[in-house]
Structure 1
Amino acid sequence: MNENRLPIYFAPLQGYTDSAYRLAHARIFGGINTYYSPFVRVEHGEIRRKDIREIHPDNNGEMHFIPQLIAPTPDKLEQIMALFIEYGYREADINLGCPFPMLVKRHNGAGMLPHPKEVEALLKTAVEKFPEIRFSVKLRLGWEHADECLALLPLLNELPLSHVTLHPRLGIQQYKGTVDWNGFEAFYKGCDKPLLYNGDIHTPDDIESIVARFPRLVGVVIGRGLLANPALAWEYQQGHPLSSDEMAKKVRLLHNEVFNAYKERLQGGDLQLLTKMKSFWEYLLPNADRKAKKIIHKTTKLSNYEVAVARLFAEL
């Protein structure tokens, strides 16, 4: 990687950046400093089985990989951390940014931001009970008010965190509307920890302009922008885009590797495989052949899907 460029971190997205995708992306595109898992959580007293499988070291190759957790209470955090430690991880990311209402109403993710005492109990439990772990935190500006993150700054600055990632939206926005640059700048000015920016990055120029505006950033976290253009981090690091032929070749390789991994892992037959592959295309190549993408998203037959994908690749 270019030493003059900031490291790029691949944001976790539930249903998209699973281990099959991460492994394929790291091998075929690269350019990423760190991959995060979608958050691990406790449901009905137990860690979800798919979360356990997804973060197993055997399923994450040689990439720099950090598991992420989401928990509303210290006891659930401790339960998840026991698994991380069992698997040999010495880094963990704590999610205080998830905006999904079903989780927020139970004080998960961004739902904790209006409750600083709960955040304090959670984070202090983490650093005090697991001193061998390098914790990071990802958060939003707040749930309803952009100053909620500012109220947490004294706590975040006090704790021995490896870094903080801020997505400058409110939780109630979900992923709609625009990012709040003034809100990010206020947090940036008061944050003593290494800070990463996350939100609405689609091109290398977007990264350059953010870095120019906030020169103390130590990294950039990208999610949907990388799903749309898997070469984005590589292009930023190298300082030039992939050729159209090379991009087409690599996207085809990415698709085939992910398709074959799902085909091997999933036990629900063609329909389950088709459903998973539809999510693969939700963000990818937004300007690709529209008719082929429409068939991909609407078909109920795997054979039709494969014909549509072949057509799309022929047009790249």
Structure 2
Amino acid sequence: MNDHLLPIHFAPLQGYTDAVYRRAHARIFGGIETYYSPFVRIEHGEIRRRDVRDAEPGANPGLHLIPQLIAPEVDKAERIISLFIEKGYREVDINLGCPFPVLAKRHNGAGMLPYPEEVRTLLSTITGKHPDIRFSVKLRLGWERPEESLALLPLFNELPLSHIILHPRLGKQQYKGETDPEGFKAFYEGCNKPLFYNGDLLTVEDIRSVTTRFPRLAGLVIGRGLLANPALALEYRQGEPLSADEMARKVSRLHTEVYESYREQLQGGELQLLMKMKSFWEYLLPDGDRKSKKTIHKTTKLSNYQAAVSNLLAAL
């Protein structure tokens, strides 16, 4: 066993890594030190109810969960932090990385990075008001330019942050194009906080490449790579891939548990369940049987979906 393994955190992805998925993943695959909730936000003047339900400690038994918030202003952030404290959380992640334009144009997520004074006001105020909370920050290199994160580095270094998660893309790229390792390196070299690498870690080889290049990393944060291969963290920890048979068994168990949980939870009938399960397969097993995956994507009948899933799993 490698004594120098870094902790792996599961990045939050809206619509994918909810409590149902987190519980099933932790039980069946594991290998994750920390899960993050998809960001909690205020919409139409209220904290979204589904965000509250998802972050409930009772919905995440046995998991080390850090709830994440997204807010452009102190008052909105304070309302969400108060909710987290009420639920018993003492760790909070601040999202400065979301690249979706509809949010970014309102200075949410990565859309806040070009405005360093707004970032300073937000982070300095909330960390100052809550010295008992361990705050972390997840960000991109910038919205337009990587220099935006570098301009914020002195602020991050002076704040009492538990760690920083950096995804080396620009917000305007969303998830397209290449990551920028040189941009990450510039931030890494000047950062005095525990720094986690996030972005395009799809294989154990990708993980090893990044950890070799940046030996002072405190950990790794993986999102789409774990959705594609839920065993990725486990394989990194045990030093070898799962056999095809074991992978097929575990994916089948993961699907069954997620399916049954949604079936009990959702009240919208067959179509709502079907649409939710389609998102389950959006990233999973990218090299799986193409015909089966196409059927899963296009079908409007649950019976066709179930048959396609059976064929897909049988072909593994």
Q: Distance in 2 between matches of 1:273 and 1:72?
A: 33
- 1:183 deviation in Å? 0.4
Q: Distance in 2 between matches of 1:122 and 1:301?
A: 47
- 1:314 deviation in Å? 1.3
1:178 corresponds in structure 2 to: 178
Q: Distance in 1 between matches of 2:236 and 2:74?
A: 39
- 1:2 deviation in Å? 5.4
Q: Secondary structure at the match of 1:20?
A: helix
Q: Distance in 2 between matches of 1:278 and 1:129?
A: 42
Q: Secondary structure at the match of 1:264?
A: helix
1:257 corresponds in structure 2 to: 257
1:1-316 map, 5 Å: 3-316=3-316
Q: Distance in 1 between matches of 2:207 and 2:43?
A: 37
Q: Secondary structure at the match of 2:169?
A: strand
* Normalised TM-score (structure 1): 0.99
Q: Secondary structure at the match of 1:162?
A: strand
Q: Distance in 2 between matches of 1:126 and 1:252?
A: 43
Q: Secondary structure at the match of 2:161?
A: coil
Q: Distance in 1 between matches of 2:195 and 2:237?
A: 19
Q: Distance in 1 between matches of 2:14 and 2:189?
A: 31
Q: Distance in 1 between matches of 2:264 and 2:130?
A: 36
Q: Distance in 2 between matches of 1:303 and 1:130?
A: 51
Deviations 1:83-120 (A, max 9, x none): 00000000000000000000001100001000000000
Q: Distance in 2 between matches of 1:152 and 1:4?
A: 30
Q: Distance in 2 between matches of 1:257 and 1:237?
A: 24
Q: Secondary structure at the match of 1:123?
A: helix
Letter in 2 for 1:143: W
Letter in 1 for 2:50: K
Question: Please, what is the CA RMSD of the aligned residues?
Answer: 0.8
- 1:4 deviation in Å? 2.1
Q: Distance in 1 between matches of 2:41 and 2:295?
A: 34
Letter in 2 for 1:61: P
* Identity within the alignment, %: 71
Q: Distance in 1 between matches of 2:3 and 2:133?
A: 27
- 1:44 deviation in Å? 1.2
* Normalised TM-score (structure 2): 0.99
Letter in 2 for 1:203: T
Q: Distance in 2 between matches of 1:302 and 1:29?
A: 26
- 1:176 deviation in Å? 0.2
Deviations 1:31-79 (A, max 9, x none): 0010000000001111000000000000001011100000000000000
Q: Distance in 2 between matches of 1:247 and 1:2?
A: 22
Q: Distance in 1 between matches of 2:126 and 2:253?
A: 40
Long gaps (5+) in structure 1: none
